[in-house]
Structure 1
Amino acid sequence: MRIGIVGGGMAGLVTAWLIDGTHEAVVFEARERIGGNARSVSVHLGGEPVWFDLGTQEISEEEYPLNSRLMRFHGFRKRDLVEVPGSRTVLREDGEDPLLVGPHGPNAGWTRSEVLGEHWERLAAFLRHAWRWDEEELDWEIPLVDMMDSLEVPEGEPRDLLCALPAALFGCDLREAGRLSARAATAPFLGGDDRERAPATENLRGGLESLAWALATDLRLAEIRPGTGIIGVRARGSGYELVDTAGEVTEVDAVVLAVPPPVAAGIVAALDDSSELRRTLGAFPYREVSYALHRDPSYMPEKLEHWSTNNVTIGQGWSESTTWYGAVHGMDVFKSQVTRRTVRPRRVLARETFEQLIPTPEVFRAQARLSEFQGCGGLYFAGHYTAGIDSQETTVESASRVARMLAPRSPRVTALLDTEEEPADVR
């Protein structure tokens, strides 16, 4: 079959790679550059190129087994990963002293002074409750504010503190954070109550975008068309016609929409009986989040001893994060959210803006409804929004589910999903 894949981000590329050799795929990417939210930039510092991720960056060999296996298929090894301690500082925009400075771990590499007072104790206790929610499989549709009410968290600064972390992570304001799914809002921070050391994730030394390029390079039959967006899909016989931004029409047997739901909703508008599908796709809210990579410590605590890998600033109704790469690369480079801040960084190296999914309870209801449309009439959906919470692992999982439906006998699908052995060369 000929498969049209709309979107050259990670979900689209993984789908194309998995079915490559079994079906012919055509990947359409509206931008001139593939990779989607995997956006890496190289900066020459000290005479050497160093890679930084402006978009998706956190992975975990242990917690993301499918992504780890995919990376090993493409030659990435443990030496290509760098461990990133998830230490955390929370401060107010107009305050001199941080509200809390959590543990980093042994041998941090610089003198740190932890601030583990009442704010730390409140956050740690809340995360212990969140761990139980996860163990007991709390309904994903229960909002965070309901759980704070049940635990009698006081209004004001205590609630601001608990909402600040998910608000910064998902790019929403503090009030919106209270309306997030409680499990989705807290899942990324589980394990953050340890007084001895912060939980760690990993970054890919060459940037996560290098995985996207490895996938694209390894395609044999598939064609990638960068700078070619799809504006509509029309039914034609047993297949579809894809209409691109240049007015060209491509005939395919099936379509994989690996683009954000608002974009997908516009593409399927011309299909008969698509109103319910469009309503479902319209139930996924997104917010625009801007990032800057910079050299000046604009948003860091005044004292180096209070610096952490992750630094969250609480403003008037909002919170935004700054990632300090000193603990990883040994140099003062920072990645900051700059959507709401009033002061801009001065020594900017790169900027990027992304659309971030806001995981409200309605999102999880919409995921269940969307699953009913999956594969109907040869129309498929792949991406971080289709199941679970937004991560590199759920993106790979979604693409794998679609690939199995399209090409259950593909050697790559079998090798990635059905074996526990070390990856062999299936290229």
Structure 2
Amino acid sequence: MLGSVNPLRRRSVLQGGVLGVASLGLLNSRAIPANQAKRERRGGKAGPGKRLAVVGAGAAGIASAYFCDSAWSVDLFESRDKIGGHADTLNVTEGDERYAVDIGAEFFHPDTHPLYWSFLAEIGARSDDPEESLVIEGPASLTVFDGGTGEARFGSEHVLEDIPGALRFLTFTGEARKMTEPDAPWETTMGGWLDGLDIDDGYKRDVLTPWLSSLTCGDVELVRTQSARAHLSSFAKTFPRSIFEPVHTYNSTVGLEGYLRMLLDACENTTVLTRAAVESLEEQSGTWHVRTASGRRHGPYDAVVVTAPPPVSKEFFGDVPDLGHIAEHLGAHEYHPSRLVIHRDPHYMPADKDYWAVQNAAVGGGHCETSIWVGAYYGTSDPATKPGIFKSWAAHRADDPGELLAERRFSHPLSTPRSLAAARDMMAFQGERNLYFAGSFTTITDLQETALYSGLRVAESLNPQGPQLTSFKKRLADEDLLGVSYDIV
């Protein structure tokens, strides 16, 4: 059991409560208690005297609030009209069914997300009972194809049709796993590492490098500048060890945003402020104030946790004396503009439907972007019965799908050696003047796993005896996971 938390079931998560209303944009610049019912049961008793401001209601911010909630009165600031950050979920109806489609992050696996996997069981989201579990297992198939002709270059489910290509990919996966070991250097770039692999150069050029770029920036040359270890850490441990071994990954039946709502529903002392974009932080007599775009000054706070991404948060410190080094480190992080679209028609899929996979990477013009076939997780083995719902990266595509359901533009972090060095150097000041940082820019890569880890690290300083943290760390100890670290050292 998770401290005093009662695991939520599917119905309560989908209903969403007051936070569900906020996520629909029906509340305008309002402060919303994360769990009004618990506050009412408290009978008007005041919350903790210590006040904590958390900037950013994404996965790292909500994890920080959740683990600190028992000892702090938390104000959670969010610039958008809904929680989630990159854990942003859209409900798509097809026929009589409704599917949760994550506009940002989605997949996870116990080999690459061990803390997150354990945490989902801790909060009641993952269960051995399929009727209760909010986790779904599905295939992790891949097709790399020519975006102009639609012709496949590699298909993970067609190894017998291309044994040489399958063996080359298997060699790559073995070397990729080695590159994620603790003694692998952060400074080795993807380009330098790929060039040193004993694999056919044409295969590296036509299949491996484009596909690797599709996982972050979509730019075939830009991906070569990223840290090989950081980039590969997000997926390499899920690779098969034989060409015939099936690969599986996991997703959420309620979307990753649904999991975050579960955390907020468990909080008693957290207030979510939506449409409250932070403009600056102000320090006065050892306490902090938060100024939002409306001009309102919130506080005082005894501590602040910043989880907003560096392009935004570096601007918070313009008027704070002696914190120029923080702004400098935040400014060193590198990002790339990205665009995601959710659509119904298979506009970006391979020409041969037999080659449709979960991940379909289209190569062309120095770019490679992926289309995720969401429907591959549902229905029978017959592709005709699966939902026609797709999520595609589309920053470099020539045109858009016809049935566009949603789109999102954002800056995707680049795990370059420069970005990693900036994170390492900035984290040396963690906790200085009661200022803390959490999020992907504080660890090795951009995952739900590292967002959770960063929130845990903050709570170890701010609420080390908290019941939620204590309970979860006991579970981690039982599963031999306490030694898992994503610090850049």
| 1:298 and 2:352 correspond | no
The amino acid that maps onto 1:335 is: K
Give the direction of change, closer, same or farther, for the CA distance of 1:82–1:399 in structure 2 (3 Å limit): same
Q: Assess if the C-alpha contact under 8 Å between 1:172 and 1:358 holds in 2.
A: no
Match of 1:165 in 2: 211
**Aligned partners of 1:28 and 1:400: how far apart in 2?**
19
Task: Give the superposition deviation at 1:421.
Answer: 8.2
Distance 2:230 2:70 in 1: 37
* Superposed displacement of residue 198, structure 1: 3.9
d(CA) in 1 for partners of 2:345, 2:376: 16
Amino acid at match of 2:338: V
TM-score scaled to structure 2, two decimals? 0.80
- Alpha-carbon RMSD across the aligned residues, in angstroms, is 2.1
Residues 231 and 445, structure 2, Cα contact 8 Å, conserved in 1:
no
For 1:208, the equivalent position in structure 2 comes to 256
Cα displacement (A) at 1:326? 3.0
1:72-111 to structure 2, matched below 5 A, reads 72-78=121-127, 79-103=133-157
Equivalent runs, 1:23-422 vs 2, <5 Å: 23-61=72-110, 63-78=112-127, 79-103=133-157, 115-135=161-181, 137-151=183-197, 158-187=204-233, 188-190=235-237, 191-192=239-240, 194-250=242-298, 251-329=300-378, 330-420=386-476
Describe the shift of the 1:96–1:215 C-alpha distance in structure 2 as closer, same or farther (beyond 3 A): closer
- How much has 1:419 moved relative to structure 2? 4.0
Could you tell me whether the CA contact under 8 Å between 1:239 and 1:254 is conserved in 2? yes
Give deviations 1:269-327, integer Å, cap 9, x for gaps: 21112222112111211122111111111111111111111110111111100111232
CA contact (8 A) 2:280 2:317 kept: yes
Matched residues, number: 415
8 A Cα contact 1:127 1:186, kept in partner: no
For 2:272 and 2:471, the matched residues in 1 are separated by 24
Query: Separation in 2 of the partners of 1:409 and 1:90?
Result: 49
TM-score normalised according to structure 1 size? 0.91
CA contact (8 A) 1:100 1:117 kept: no
1:72 is paired with a residue whose SS is: helix
Q: Is there any run of 5+ residues in structure 1 with no aligned partner, and where?
A: 104-111
Contact 1:21 1:221 in 2 (8 A): yes
**Contiguous gaps of at least 5 residues in structure 2:** 1-49, 128-132, 379-385, 480-489
In structure 2, what residue type is equivalent to 1:351? E
Distance in 1, matches of 2:270 and 2:257, equals 19
Relative to structure 2, which stretch is displaced further, 386-395 or 88-97? 88-97
Alignment partners' CA distance in 2, 1:169 and 1:83: 20
SS of 2:273's equivalent? strand
Q: Aligned residues: percent identity?
A: 27
Q: Partners of 2:278 and 2:438 in 1: how far apart?
A: 16
The amino acid across from 1:246 in the alignment is S
